Chains A and B, each alone.
Chain A
């Protein structure tokens, strides 16, 4: 009996607690991205005007977490309506059945950069991996190419590279080793890892943008690969860091809709709005990342467009998402095995 009583008391406490939970309103949608200045720009350029136009409240959540996304989809009740993910993940998740196919009768595909459109995703924005360096550390010498990243003699010290298995590092290793840009794919993994082995003990991995900035500015790792927007932000803060756009590696984030969302129509309308020329131009202005709508550049002042990866399209290499979608798991397995050694 006593046990039943105590269970009853606990039940009552729990019941009281449930009432204090705050479920999202039916007319709301949730946009999830990576946080920080990027998401602030997305909120100001996309969510706020979209709410004004449609009356839908857009709640912000983040950071994006693929494990969480998968768990949501499996539960059948995803809490996220539209998610900003990396492009290679978008392609892979589409194949794995985690995403809703997009409705291109609502989203106008014809104005978008075709490099970043798939049945399950459209580009969110695009960015470049660039070579960044701390000017105080190398005297008069200025690193220029990815090959310089591997030159421990001329440019001594730690170098910082993107930690996760994703498009970028393997490509730049091959480019540094002399592979021609048009012969990059399919990736010669053996050759790439062999090249990376030559600097392995000097690599500090960055797992997020903020960390990469801290490593560069503090001189902890005076040279490395960075998202161009992060270098831009450092410069805006008044610290003079060097950057080389030679063979910058372009990749995109993508907007996707988790499978099973309650209000598909709202999700599609949000994506249509976010990928429109005006919204993309506003976002590019605020973030330093490039628009994926081909009409956006005409809406921006020339000096605003100058800092964007668009303006460095000469020698720019687009990372091949089709290759990555196909080989993501196999590459990841080798990547983490190599990294862990």
Chain B
């Protein structure tokens, strides 16, 4: 205890008046929980990647040599990127509308977003499964309208996964964006108009940059959550285009190969953290440039 709080006290002396010497102790309960109930068990599992079936790195060798694993990781990143991009593309106008619509309509739209979030994840995913199938009402409607002759393959492939995941991730984009956009001063845009900026100019040089923190926060959250997503890909995806979490589940649950499963999980974790770090760095640079 005391050894932890010493550097803290020194900092406290350097920066008056901070929260008195308590930064660490505030964080401690949550930190202990994470260490005991997350880090410890997960590390124990990941360690099996170098101990099972024999001590050594053969699981990692297998991982890097396997064309399947490479393909699965490419799939995972492509789908996550696609989901994030589409969710941002349709989430931005929704957030915008939520900020500017007359209160009654904004409440209604907000209600719809929240309602979609509160509907059971499994039920939503199954609904998509039935909706998207070849004999489902989407294909039937499109054929009835004469838009297509043969049913489109919308499910059991990456199209289905992308649709289903975009649906689930949309609120995670919209909610942070709304908070950010609400904080933008309308006067700034009025000023831009007074300075002769057109709509497009005002959008590109004022609204978009000012929304950037929300876009970054929501986008990062969505992307990271998508990488490890399991339920939707396993129900709406096909066997030919697995995502990483499914592969890990298969190794762990069907094949009982916890060594390779642990190695795959570790690889996914390292890749995600690396990406996270890069994005954070870019974000900070962007922020400091704007500031300077």
Q: Which residues of A contact B (CB under 8 A)?
A: 2-4, 6-7, 10, 65-68, 70, 96, 158, 163-165, 204-205, 214, 218-220, 329, 332, 336-337, 339-341
Contacts and interface: CB of A to CB of B under 8 A. Distances in A.
Interface string B40-81: 000000000000000000000000001110011000000000
B286 to A, nearest CB: 36
Residue of B239, B252, B254, B255 with most partner-chain A CB within 10 A = B239
B239 A2 contact: no
Given A66-B256, A163-B239, A341-B240, A219 B135 contact: yes
A340 B239 contact: yes
A339 B239 contact: yes
Contact of A6 (B28, B71, B258): B28
A259 B156 CA distance: 38
B28 A340 contact: no
B32 interface: yes
A163 B250 CA distance: 11
B268 to A, nearest CB: 16
A67 B256 contact: yes
A70 B156 contact: no
B255 A332 contact: yes
A113 to B, nearest CB: 27
A155 B242 CA distance: 28
A341 B241 CA distance: 8
15 contacts: A3-B25, A3-B28, A67-B253, A67-B256, A96-B256, A158-B134, A164-B254, A205-B238, A329-B255, A336-B68, A336-B255, A337-B66, A337-B68, A339-B240, A340-B241
B22 A2 contact: yes
Interface in B6-61: 22, 24-26, 28-29, 32-33
Contacts of B26: 2-3
A220 B133 contact: yes
Contacts of B242: 340
Residue of A68, A220, A337 with most partner-chain B CB within 10 A = A220
A204 B156 contact: yes
B134 A70 contact: no
Contacts of A66: 253-254, 256
A241 to B, nearest CB: 15
Contacts of A3: 1, 24-26, 28-29
Contacts of B156: 204-205
Nearest to A204: B156
A163 B238 CA distance: 10
Interface residues of B, number: 31
Contacts of A214: 130
Interface of B: 1, 22, 24-26, 28-29, 32-33, 66-68, 71-72, 130, 133-135, 156, 238-242, 250, 252-256, 258
Nearest to A161: B239
Nearest to A7: B29
Q: DSSP class of B's interface residues: helix, strand, loop or mixed?
A: helix
Contacts of A339: 239-240
Contacts of B67: 337
A330 to B, nearest CB: 11
B254 A165 contact: yes
A2 B238 CA distance: 53
Contacts of A329: 255
Residue of B26, B71, B134, B258 with most partner-chain A CB within 10 A = B134
A341 B66 CA distance: 12
A332 B240 CA distance: 15
Contacts of A68: 253
B206 to A, nearest CB: 44
Given A204-B156, A340-B71, A6 B29 contact: yes
A54 B270 CA distance: 54
A67 to B, nearest CB: 4
Contacts of A220: 133-135
Given A205-B238, A340-B71, A70 B256 contact: yes
A196 B289 CA distance: 58
B249 to A, nearest CB: 8
Contacts of A96: 256
Contacts of A204: 156, 238
Given A96-B256, A337-B68, 20 more contacts: A2-B22, A2-B26, A3-B24, A3-B25, A4-B1, A66-B253, A67-B252, A67-B253, A67-B254, A163-B239, A204-B238, A214-B130, A220-B135, A332-B254, A336-B255, A340-B68, A340-B71, A340-B240, A340-B241, A341-B71
Contact of A65 (B33, B130, B253): B253
Nearest to B5: A3
Given A6-B28, A218-B135, A205 B256 contact: no
Contacts of A205: 156, 238-239
A336 B251 CA distance: 10
Contacts of A70: 256, 258
Given A3-B1, A7-B32, A336 B25 contact: no
Nearest to A8: B29
A65 B256 CA distance: 11
